């Protein structure tokens, strides 16, 4: 099928489409549409059929069909940009639907609607699971372009995205006739050894969960411990030491909201008590295994300590007390606010993400390299003809996609400019420092997209009213950090 016929054959459905029949995450993203691309060949050579691509739009195309503002999401994001960049979306803001036709498309491998391990494979009559093929950032861009063309977009005025979204934005820049300007944020020209290593460590957490079963896990009994551990270490790379110190230091958590272990056996012996402290936080332990040396008339004969509703644990310090050993009466605290935060974040994440999808997307990130198969390993060489206006935003406290990498990105584009987001939060600063990101992008629009900014589509204001309505975020909101 030629390219135009393929574009013409794309049709639109909603979340009830058969591709989503086993996807329990699809309901998390409200009001999105799904484009079905009849056929798509991935870089790895695999041909996918009836490929779902989830997307959302705000505003309308102008008559020149050149006012598309493309938003590209990060690793665990979705097409619902209002959920993660909401404060920048609306009239008078950087992503203004009265000027732009704003589109956000979900990446392959994500659980939020586009083809992924949790979507249906009509050939095998089951979800893809671990048999979902490797997809790349370039696959996302090529597939998303088909959908944009089907939507009538003749030119992307500006493509904006952070982290993985920034990788898509950089790849879009190579489509010189289709893309007018880009804003890559906290991203890289190629996934660094550092980032690849973090991805590897996170995947190993998932692989080592016994429930993972090489990816053929029961969707109703998933490898949550492994996925949760992966998110914990990822989250640490998204923030900074300074942010954690300022927020948590050595504080204890609020026990009413985050009680010390929810399944605590009543310690019977010093050994039991030590075991409790040792295993606290271990997602697998339910009962104490049998240990013959602890079997005595005073301790449980089988060695198995059952959960109790009245644990002998200090609710104010999270430490064990009230056992036979005097040395355990005033032990040091072993339960900190920073831990409860990580555990809470892990729990929240496993409720909204899938382990195979996590592996799929992190492998996609690992493939990212703008120089791959472009005739030179030097990005400056392969990018020297990309003369479009480029605004790069970087965060000095970002330990994952470092500020130096942002300097390098800007230097590779003949018309690249670098601005700094001031934030102590680290990498996630691009999702948290709305005011700064908003104002840099607005300035860039005024400088480079004056023709579009001078047009106004008044009807888009009506559509936007719903955006201002109260809504619950899937991903959570940055909250008042002083309350912890």
Ligand X SMILES: N[C@@H](CCO)C(=O)O
Q: Is 346 a binder of ligand X (CB under 6 A)?
A: no
Cβ neighbour number for residue 48 with a 10 Å cutoff: 23
Residue span 234-263 as binding mask against ligand ACO, x where in contact by CB under 6 A, dash where not: -------------------x----x-----
Which residue among 74, 82, 137, 168 contacts ligand X (CB under 6 A)?
Answer: 74
Cβ atoms of 321 and 312 within 8 Å: the answer is yes
User: What residue 2 binds from ligand X, ligand ACO, none (CB within 5 to 8 A, per partner kind)?
Assistant: none
- Is residue 73 a contact point for ligand ACO (CB under 6 A)? yes
Number of residues interacting with ligand ACO: please give it, by CB under 6 A: 24
R_g of the chain computed on alpha carbons? 25
* Residue 172 sits in the site that holds ligand ACO (CB under 6 A): no
- Alpha-carbon distance of 328 to 320, in angstroms, equals 7
| Most distant CA atoms of the chain, gap in Å | 86
Structure tokens at 254: 């609020």
Cβ 191 to ligand X, closest distance in Å? 12
The verdict on whether 427 is a catalytic residue reads yes
Nearer to ligand X, 163 or 312 (CB): 163
Residue 183 β-bridge partners: 160
Residue 467 exposure: Cα atoms within 13 Å on the Cβ side: 25
Contact between 341 and ligand ACO by CB under 6 A: the answer reads yes
Residue 455, beta-bridge partner list: none
Residue count (the chain): 484
Q: Which does 191 bind (CB under 5 to 8 A by kind): ligand X, ligand ACO, none?
A: none
Q: Decide if residue 337 touches ligand ACO (CB under 6 A).
A: yes
Cβ-contact 233, 201 below 8 angstroms: yes
CA angle 127, 129, 132 (to 5 degrees): 95
Identify the active-site residue in 78, 163, 312, 360.
163
Q: Which does 337 bind (CB under 5 to 8 A by kind): ligand X, ligand ACO, none?
A: ligand ACO
Among 74, 118, 230, 400, binds ligand ACO (CB under 6 A): 74
Q: Is-catalytic flag, 398?
A: yes
Q: Which residue is nearest to ligand ACO (CB)?
A: 77
Q: Which residue of the set 80, 366, 398, 428 is catalytic? A: 398
Q: Toward ligand X, which CB reaches closer, 163 or 457?
A: 163
Q: And the tokens for 367? A: 């493939």
User: Minimum distance between the CB of residue 297 and ligand ACO, rounded to whole angstroms?
Assistant: 41
**Taking the CB of residue 415, how many other CB atoms lie within 10 A of it?**
13
Please report, for residues 176, 367, 370, 415, the alpha-carbon distance to residue 381 in angstroms, rounded to integers and kept in the order given.
16, 20, 11, 14
Q: How many CA atoms lie within 13 A of 114 on its CB side?
A: 28
Do the bridges between strand 156-162 and strand 390-395 make them parallel or antiparallel, or are there none, so unpaired?
Answer: unpaired
Does 113 participate in binding ligand ACO (rule CB under 6 A)? no
The site for ligand X (CB under 6 A) is made up of 74-77, 163, 238, 428, 431
Catalytic positions, written as ranges? 163, 398, 427
Interacting residues toward ligand ACO by CB under 6 A? 73-74, 76-77, 84, 162-163, 165, 253, 258, 337, 340-341, 344-345, 428, 431-432, 475-479, 484
């Amino acid at each position: 099928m030629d390219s135009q016929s393929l574009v013409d054959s794309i049709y639109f459905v909603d979340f009830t489409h058969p591709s989503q029949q086993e996807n329990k995450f699809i309901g998390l993203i409200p009001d999105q549409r799904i484009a079905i691309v009849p056929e798509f060949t991935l870089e790895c050579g695999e041909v996918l059929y009836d490929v779902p691509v989830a997307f959302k739009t705000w505003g309308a195309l102008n008559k020149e069909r050149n006012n598309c503002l493309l938003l590209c999401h990060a690793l665990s994001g979705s097409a619902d940009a209002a959920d993660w960049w909401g404060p920048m979306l609306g009239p008078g803001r950087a992503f203004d639907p009265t000027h732009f036709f704003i589109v956000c498309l979900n990446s392959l491998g994500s659980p939020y609607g586009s083809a992924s391990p949790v979507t249906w494979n009509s050939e095998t009559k089951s979800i893809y699971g671990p048999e979902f093929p490797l997809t790349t950032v370039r696959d996302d861009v090529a597939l998303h372009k088909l959908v944009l063309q089907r939507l009538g977009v003749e030119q992307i005025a500006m493509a904006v995205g952070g982290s993985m979204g920034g990788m898509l934005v950089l790849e879009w820049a190579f489509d010189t006739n289709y893309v007018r300007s880009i804003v890559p944020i906290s991203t890289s020209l190629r996934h660094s050894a550092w980032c690849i290593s973090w991805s590897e460590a996170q995947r190993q957490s998932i692989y080592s969960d016994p429930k993972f079963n090489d990816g053929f896990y029961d969707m109703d009994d998933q490898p949550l411990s492994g996925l949760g551990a992966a998110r914990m270490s990822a989250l640490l790379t998204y923030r900074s030491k300074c942010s954690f110190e300022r927020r948590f230091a050595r504080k204890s958590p609020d026990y009413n909201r985050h009680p010390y272990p929810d399944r605590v056996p009543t310690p019977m012996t010093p050994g039991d008590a030590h075991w409790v402290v040792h295993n606290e936080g271990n997602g697998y332990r339910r009962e104490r295994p049998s240990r013959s040396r602890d079997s005595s008339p005073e301790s449980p004969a089988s060695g198995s300590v059952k959960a109790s509703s009245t644990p002998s644990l200090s609710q104010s310090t999270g430490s064990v007390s009230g056992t036979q050993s005097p040395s355990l009466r005033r032990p040091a605290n072993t339960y900190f606010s920073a831990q409860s935060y990580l555990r809470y974040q892990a729990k929240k994440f496993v409720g909204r993400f899938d382990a195979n999808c996590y592996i799929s997307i992190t492998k996609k990130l690992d493939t990212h390299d703008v120089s791959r198969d472009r005739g030179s390993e030097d990005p400056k060489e392969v990018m020297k003809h990309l003369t479009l206006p480029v605004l790069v935003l970087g965060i000095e406290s970002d330990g994952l996609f470092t500020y130096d990498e942002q300097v390098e990105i800007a230097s590779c584009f003949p018309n690249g400019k670098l601005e700094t987001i001031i934030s102590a939060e680290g990498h996630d600063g691009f999702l948290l420092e709305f005011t700064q990101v908003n104002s840099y992008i607005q300035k860039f629009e005024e400088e480079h997209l004056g023709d579009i900014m001078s047009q106004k589509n008044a009807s888009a204001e009506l559509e936007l009213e719903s955006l201002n309505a109260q809504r619950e975020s899937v991903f959570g909101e940055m909250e008042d950090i002083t309350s912890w």
